[in-house]
Chain A
Amino acid sequence: MSQIKLGWRWMTLIILVLLITGCWDRRELNNQALIFAWGMDLKDDGSYLASAQFPIPRELGDSETAAGKSSFTITGSGNSVYEAAKDLQTKVSRAWFAGHRRVILIGDKLAKKGLSNIIDEYSRNPIVRLRTDILIVKGSTAAELLSLSYPLEQVPANAFFRIHEAAGTTPDLTLLKFLMANASEESCPVLPVITAQFDSNSKLKLWGTAVFNKETKLVNYLTLKKGMIVQWVKGELDGAIRTVKIPSEEGNIVVEINHLSTKIQTSADENDNIRIRVVLGAKGVLRENNTHLDLFQTKNITMVKEYMNNQTSTEVKRVIKEIQAHGTDILGFGVAVHRQHPQQWKELKKEWPQHFQQAKVEVVVKINLEESGMTGPSIGQKKSEIRS
């Protein structure tokens, strides 16, 4: 009896706690608008333009009833990010839910002005996921890109994400890497760049990489090719394709490289002169041969290897020079110096961008050609043309 009484008392307490506090976070899915992509632009008058892409659940369900567009985009403007977002909310019939926002697009105009104002919310709000892809829009605005429809994907927002994914990176980590690089004392952050061609069929295209300085302002663009070299130097690339021009022949040889490795050796003397030696290694597999060379011959292979290493190191050097000119260390040289000369780093870090700019960089490429394929000379060649 007493046990039952106690049980009733507890039950009443629990029910009262539930009812009196009014603590009720429940929100049904059909009362929420899911944000899948978010865009931020800077307008000409200096105010922000926020845009959000919502999937329309009604159109995504039964294939019979789905007729119209599967998503829609709404924009709002204001003098701060928060104001723009509030303005946007007044145009949406349901409370929005940003927990599934995987893509953030940022107009290049805003990126050039600096991202520090807007990036804060992305790391502060607990609802927003850290595994977000951020892309810089080159040539148009984020709002324009978000209003495009993409026939292959259920929700167009996924197109940005998947295009980035198809390029061989992990798009989930873009925001995290950006924040980490921004917070570190050595590196500068990078973000991928996407463009849209409004006239042709393939509307979206991954363009390359945007380089930011320590004030999170966009300072330089790198094309996809250059961006890949940066990744190789950083040790993040899994594989690539190199086209080797053979000067004595008409045509070229294509080598697929994998098992990429990077070694960065640094030295700093007492006058804080930095010397950096980048050793890039790889295993190569010959994929295409448009020349007259018979690649069963060792001397030809050696020649190809030599040309390939020289051309690659020249290219890598050119890219590093370009990056050095902006003083933005996106290559991880600062990290290497910090690790290899921790004592000197305490001094160096104060003016690292300048030191980075003035560092003497030496590049050594060691690609080993391991397979030449099933045939020696190219099959399309006449016997007389083959040079052994």
Chain B
Amino acid sequence: MANKFKWTRTQEKENIHMNDVLPEQKLTPSLCQNETYLKEIFRNCSDVVYRPLYVEGRMYALVIYVNGLIDTKGLEEMLLKPLLTAGHNPEVDKPSYFKELIAQQALAIKQTALVSDVSLVVQGILNGQIALLTEGETEALLGNMSDYEKRSIGEPGTESVVRGPREGFTESIFTNKALIRRRMRSSKLKFEMTTVGEMSQTQISIAYIEGIVKPGILQEVRKRIHRINTDAILDSGYIEEFIEDTPHSPFPLVQNTERPDVVLASLLEGRVAILVDGTPFVLIVPMTIWTAIHAAEDYYEHFIYTSGIRLLRFLLLSVSFLLPSLYVATSTFHPQLIPEALLLTIAAARENVPFPTVVETLLMEVIFEALREAGIRLPKPVGSAVSMVGGLVLGESAVRAGIVSAPTVIVVAFTGIASFSLPRYNLGLAFRLLRFPLLLLAGSLGIYGVGFGVIALIIHLVNLSSFGIPYLAPVAPNLSSNMKDIFIRMPRWTMNKRPGFLVDENIIRTPAGQDPAKNKKSQK
């Protein structure tokens, strides 16, 4: 009976059929036939270059590569020159000639491989390798001469610091791996390579530290990444959406960063990083919500200062979420909660305003969000025009004209500044979005509505988990021994253990007894 109402769906098995090479297709001994076949595969691919090598008018070898993906100078030096000289060798017709040539190490190429599958040859060429096909040979030589134009390493745009390393990731996964490896000279740091994307064949690296990461979490990451079946991965955001635990939640369950130091700090806490080729944003899982109030700099600056700043960020987080709602709720439902001098000021400012407070606040919030969005999308030289029009024309004149009241402008502006002060942009976005439903609740039900909204939010948050780790850990569930780095940051010599909810073995980070004050005493 119950089954009747159950909404069942059949698992549709869909595969992407975009490869025109038969998987079992092999190379033939005839170079001409191979050339025709490959040219058919790379039809209209104007970036694929064919470089035939002739002896006495007869083609004996063919070099194929993609223009711009390989080191052309190296190609000339390492491959073409030796081949052209070797071409005059009378033994060139011998079928095993090239195998011998490689065995003699005549070709100075970084990595070489002999393959006989056409699909592997095609893949190799597209990966930035050169393929060397020869007459009478059923195996092609793939040589790695990959080299392409890259952006140089710059300061990360989304996570700048006053003090701390200024290197940020680039779009090249090899550079990114090098940036991480350079800071961790240990064989325990692993980069597991895989490719995702049926057509894009994007390289993805799962980074972790062996002996620290929980095998369960690592296995889960592998499983979820291997589950992805799509045509292309253009940014780590694609991966994030495929591996999230609760995709319908507005809260990000996967952290992203542009900073190698943040990645390493997370790896040392037992997290797993996912590097994606083509984007400077590296994913880190599992994520907890407290990373929203933690910035990289917290660990480089003095701990007392950092603790104060963290408490301030916590306050600002609440402000960015609650202030407009509390303003609307108190001024329209519970004026008795506002001190009378302030109430008189607000009442005086509201006297000529034609809209209800909730409409007025919503209006200003929307305008503010519009200004923010315009500021991001506009070309940089025009950006200042937006702030001028927004700040002066809208803010000042709207109040002067009596369309909005000055307290509302102040509330909205402060809320905006507060939401910008969170170090994690995507978590700030979640709170910024939820502000609007909460504002509607406040405008219709008052403080009761705000309380209702906050309780619903907390219920949602405690239900979330990221790769099996509760989103609010270690606050809920309460693991008080892990609280040294949540609301405040304790000095480094007291935070001697890795977070217990993430790490089982090798939990000691810093052996105890390194308090400099105590050491000084004992020296005396």
Contact = CB atoms under 8 A, between A and B. Distances in A.
Interface of A: 1-3, 18, 24-30, 32, 34, 36, 55, 57-58, 60-62, 97, 99-100, 102, 127, 129, 154-155
Given A2-B7, A26-B356, A99 B344 contact: no
A27 B332 contact: yes
Contact of A30 (B7, B344, B351, B358): B351
B340 A36 contact: yes
A2 to B, nearest CB: 5
Contact of A29 (B336, B346, B445): B346
B199 interface: no
Contacts of B332: 26-29
The 8 closest A-B pairs by CB, nearest first: A99-B336, A61-B348, A57-B347, A57-B348, A29-B347, A60-B348, A26-B332, A29-B350
Main secondary structure of the interface of A (DSSP, over half): loop
A174 to B, nearest CB: 17
A269 B332 CA distance: 62
Contacts of A30: 347, 350-353
B335 to A, nearest CB: 6
Interface in B318-343: 331-336, 340-341, 343
Contacts of B347: 29-30, 34, 55, 57, 60
Main secondary structure of the interface of B (DSSP, over half): helix
A117 B346 CA distance: 35
B128 interface: no
A127 to B, nearest CB: 7
B70 to A, nearest CB: 48
A99 B334 CA distance: 9
B344 A60 contact: yes
29 contacts: A2-B7, A18-B444, A18-B445, A25-B446, A26-B332, A26-B446, A28-B332, A28-B350, A28-B356, A28-B357, A29-B335, A29-B346, A30-B347, A30-B351, A30-B353, A34-B335, A34-B347, A36-B340, A55-B344, A57-B348, A57-B350, A60-B345, A61-B345, A61-B348, A97-B335, A99-B336, A102-B340, A129-B336, A154-B341
B521 interface: no
B252 interface: no
Interface in B469-487: none
A36 B339 CA distance: 12
Contact of A100 (B343, B345, B356): B343
Nearest to B328: A26
Contacts of B110: none
Nearest to A102: B340
Nearest to A61: B348
B335 A155 contact: no
A42 B345 CA distance: 35
Contact of A155 (B344, B345, B350): B344
A268 B348 CA distance: 61
Contacts of B94: none
Contacts of A58: 348, 351
In the complex, which of the residues B343, B353, B358 has the most CB atoms of chain A within 10 Å of its own CB atom? B343
A100 B344 CA distance: 10
A57 to B, nearest CB: 4
A100 B348 contact: no
Nearest to B332: A26
Given A28-B350, A58-B348, A100-B340, 4 more contacts: A26-B356, A32-B335, A61-B349, A97-B336
A18 B351 CA distance: 27
A155 B341 CA distance: 10
A11 B434 CA distance: 15
A59 to B, nearest CB: 8
Given A3-B248, A154-B344, A25 B351 contact: no
Interface string B84-100: 00000000000000000
Nearest to B452: A14
B270 interface: no
Contacts of B335: 29, 32, 34, 97, 99-100
A360 to B, nearest CB: 48
